[in-house]
Structure 1
Amino acid sequence: MKKRARRKREHIRYSLMLERRLKRDIFSDITLLHNCLSEVNLDEIDISTQLQGLKLKKPIIINAITGGFPLAFTINRQMAKIARELDLAMAVGSQRIALRDKSAQKSFKVVREENPEGIIFANIGADASTEEVLEVVDMIKADAVQIHLNIPQEIVMAEGRKKFEGTIEKISKIASEVKVPVIVKEVGFGIAKEEAKILADCGIKIIDIGGAGGTDFIAIENMRNKKNAVPVLEGWGIPTPISLIEVLSEVGDRVDVIASGGLKTGLDVAKSLALGAKAAGFAGFVLYKLMKGGPSALRKYLERVERELIYSMAMVGARNISDLRKRPLIIEGRTYNWLKFRGINAKFR
């Protein structure tokens, strides 16, 4: 258990180091069309959304970050308090450690203690049994559960899993037996349309694409294990806006999609929602803001993200997220070329 806790501490340390060199400009190929005749008043804009019946007052989610050791307890407590104050949904980090070490559970349970009425997501890897999923849900009285996919990280991580057979079968079983909404979530490498279809066919109703462009766990594992580092694989994955479009073009009529992976601004959220996402997740930069500036800095940052989203909606004439999806947008550059090569209509909406 000490080794697992140490690994989690190292993940935070190295993610903060990597954050300094990340551009986080992943949506630069997407432009929302300005509306010079907008008649929308700021105070009438409704940014509420739903994920399979879960009502979110705001489409901004503090996504899975950490848990399982003393610093994680403090991080999760502060995040949960801000989530409560700002009416944001929040996910905890992987709870696997808490299944094996009961003393680690407090770093996850503190989220529900700080935010008893909030929307909270549990989290565990795709190798989990149905019984383990039910246990992590019960641990924090979760409203939904994230089943995370992180094969590239596991492959590169010295102590990671190297066998993945049976993943689809397990996900299908979890989807059929767990009563709270099940979210399948990538952790920074994206999801292609082919795998999105498999997940939808398995009964998954919510997909968090977790695209490339934010925290790079291959880079983090390279920093942890310099002797056997594989730097050529850094940057692996499907960029977030491309993954979002791939998934939406294939299963957008069957699955609610969360955009995450490198998002930084309220304009990123607006573009994600305009493309068809139901919500947007923030993790790496949220952690960076908290660790570098404290709770006050993080609160101000998230308030700014919300403000930027509302301003963007007003400038395209959208009173709600449904209106935003109807507004034309322009797709250029690498994103357009990728979609063309993959046979995806850039006007898929």
Structure 2
Amino acid sequence: MIAGRKDDHVRHAHEQQRRPAGDNRFDDVRFVHHALAGLDRSEVSLATRFGGIAWEVPLYINAMTGGSVRTGMINRDLAIAARETGVPIATGSMSAYFADASTADTFRVMRKENPGGFIMANVNANATVENARRAVGLLEADALQIHLNAVQETVMPEGDRDFSAWAATIEKIVKGVGVPVIVKEVGFGLSRETLLRLRTLGVRLADVSGSGGTDFARIENDRRDRADYSFLLGWGQSTPACLLDAQDAGLPVLASGGVRHPLDVVRALALGAVAAGASGLFLKTVLDAGVPGLVSLISAWLDQVAALMTVLGARTPADLTRCDVLIQGSLSAFCARRGIDTDRLATRSRSFTSTVEGETSDD
């Protein structure tokens, strides 16, 4: 039953990528162009550091699948692409492995094909500390994702209905698993209030994983005998909204959900993300064009991210948070309702420029 569900998820996620894209709030984020801001490309570094983790690039392949023969083959291909491009990668939920140990190789193949890569295991918020450790051990994982998916579980015909123990479980896993823990949504977003709550539980890293990409409410609704949860389609906050909401929450955040191209990666970094991840488009690419197609796509993205940083005058991903951005449209309306000051983002390069000029003058 679990294997069939995992195959269903892949099929429906792939189908979503074939449909016209819906609203994506990344387009409400625009850079102010400064024509003399450009750098020498050789000065640009894609390396990012956060929460004791060091990645050579600010891009990762986010959690997708595992638990069936077909999904094991997909994980193999994704791992090879990660190895060839140097990007970190996360496996999909490992609940299938806890229920049936014979599925282990559909997840373990990631480490087999990518022995030196940064790999994240993935468990749900009902997992025991013992199972979290099993997941990390199976993959020799460098970090653990705990996914929050109450909306998906609610629509899923066979999903969980009790979410009351999640906070306590997360706290136990963080204390007992022995690797960095990243708490993530699955496409409905993490609010500032959620991030602050996670901090009290000992969590030090989060992936906001907002709406705008793969919609798991739609996937689970399509699996139902009657599509009677269609009113939940589009639920949650967009990734840019979550990033703006996360300011001053005190947690390094990663950005996934609706990342369509390198400009979205750079937008996410400019809004404070330490790295950006993608799933749906990478899944579609590996299914349609194989490993060579995905390697080509990721390589192009990394090159183009560096090119955009060069134009914007950002030597590192963190420097993008000094670039001026305009927040427009419904994203601006969201910020106004949440009390988020976006005006300062439009002129923040001035304070940095003044500081640099002052240092030059003193010299």
TM-score range, shorter chain: over 0.9
Cα distance change on mapping 1:38 and 1:139 into 2, 3 Å: same
Q: 2:186 aligned with 1:190, yes or no? A: no
Q: Quick check: 1:196–1:250 contact (8 Å CA) kept in 2? A: no
Which runs of no fewer than 5 residues in structure 2 stay unpaired?
Answer: 349-363
After alignment, is 21-30 or 155-164 more displaced? Answer: 21-30
Partner of 2:7: 9
Partner of 1:148: 147
Paired with 2:25 and 2:339, the residues of 1 have a C-alpha distance of 21
Partner of 2:45: 46
Paired with 2:287 and 2:197, the residues of 1 have a C-alpha distance of 38
Paired with 2:63 and 2:219, the residues of 1 have a C-alpha distance of 16
Deviations 1:174-208 (A, max 9, x none): 11222200000100000111111000111111100
Q: Which residues of 2 match residues 132-281 of structure 1 at below 5 A?
A: 132-247=131-246, 249-251=247-249, 254-281=250-277
Q: Quick check: 1:265–1:308 contact (8 Å CA) kept in 2? A: no
The Cα shift of 1:55 comes to 1.0
Root mean square deviation of aligned Cα: 1.3
Paired with 1:196 and 1:53, the residues of 2 have a C-alpha distance of 19
Paired with 2:189 and 2:86, the residues of 1 have a C-alpha distance of 27
Cα distance change on mapping 1:231 and 1:39 into 2, 3 Å: closer
The Cα shift of 1:43 comes to 2.5
Deviations 1:309-337 (A, max 9, x none): 11211111111123211111111111111
Paired with 1:80 and 1:54, the residues of 2 have a C-alpha distance of 20
In the alignment, residue 34 of structure 1 is paired with which amino acid? H
Cα distance change on mapping 1:39 and 1:250 into 2, 3 Å: closer
Q: Quick check: 1:26–1:263 contact (8 Å CA) kept in 2? A: no
Paired with 1:298 and 1:277, the residues of 2 have a C-alpha distance of 23
Partner of 1:76: 75
Q: 2:322 aligned with 1:320, yes or no? A: no
Q: Secondary structure at the match of 2:30?
A: strand
In the alignment, residue 233 of structure 1 is paired with which amino acid? L
Q: Quick check: 1:218–1:234 contact (8 Å CA) kept in 2? A: yes
Q: Quick check: 2:38–2:311 contact (8 Å CA) kept in 1? A: no
In the alignment, residue 321 of structure 1 is paired with which amino acid? P
Partner of 2:338: 342
Q: Secondary structure at the match of 2:161?
A: coil
Stretches (4+) displaced over 4 A: none
Paired with 1:243 and 1:169, the residues of 2 have a C-alpha distance of 23
Paired with 1:68 and 1:322, the residues of 2 have a C-alpha distance of 36
Paired with 1:217 and 1:7, the residues of 2 have a C-alpha distance of 12
TM-score (structure 2 length as normaliser): 0.92
Higher Cα Rg: structure 1 or 2? Answer: 2
After alignment, is 144-153 or 288-297 more displaced? Answer: 288-297
Cα distance change on mapping 1:262 and 1:64 into 2, 3 Å: same
Partner of 2:17: 19
Q: Secondary structure at the match of 1:40?
A: coil
Partner of 1:99: 98
TM-score (structure 1 length as normaliser): 0.96
Cα distance change on mapping 1:51 and 1:108 into 2, 3 Å: farther
Q: Secondary structure at the match of 1:27?
A: helix
After alignment, is 19-28 or 169-178 more displaced? Answer: 19-28
Q: Quick check: 2:143–2:180 contact (8 Å CA) kept in 1? A: yes
Paired with 1:121 and 1:231, the residues of 2 have a C-alpha distance of 32
Q: Quick check: 1:185–1:208 contact (8 Å CA) kept in 2? A: yes
In the alignment, residue 145 of structure 1 is paired with which amino acid? L
Q: Secondary structure at the match of 2:226?
A: helix
In the alignment, residue 295 of structure 2 is paired with which amino acid? R
Q: Secondary structure at the match of 2:183?
A: strand
Paired with 1:38 and 1:310, the residues of 2 have a C-alpha distance of 14
Paired with 2:200 and 2:276, the residues of 1 have a C-alpha distance of 23
Q: Quick check: 1:221–1:229 contact (8 Å CA) kept in 2? A: no
Deviations 1:43-73 (A, max 9, x none): 2210101231221000100000000111111
- % identity of equivalent residues: 38
Q: Quick check: 1:33–1:316 contact (8 Å CA) kept in 2? A: no
The Cα shift of 1:228 comes to 4.8
Paired with 1:237 and 1:319, the residues of 2 have a C-alpha distance of 33
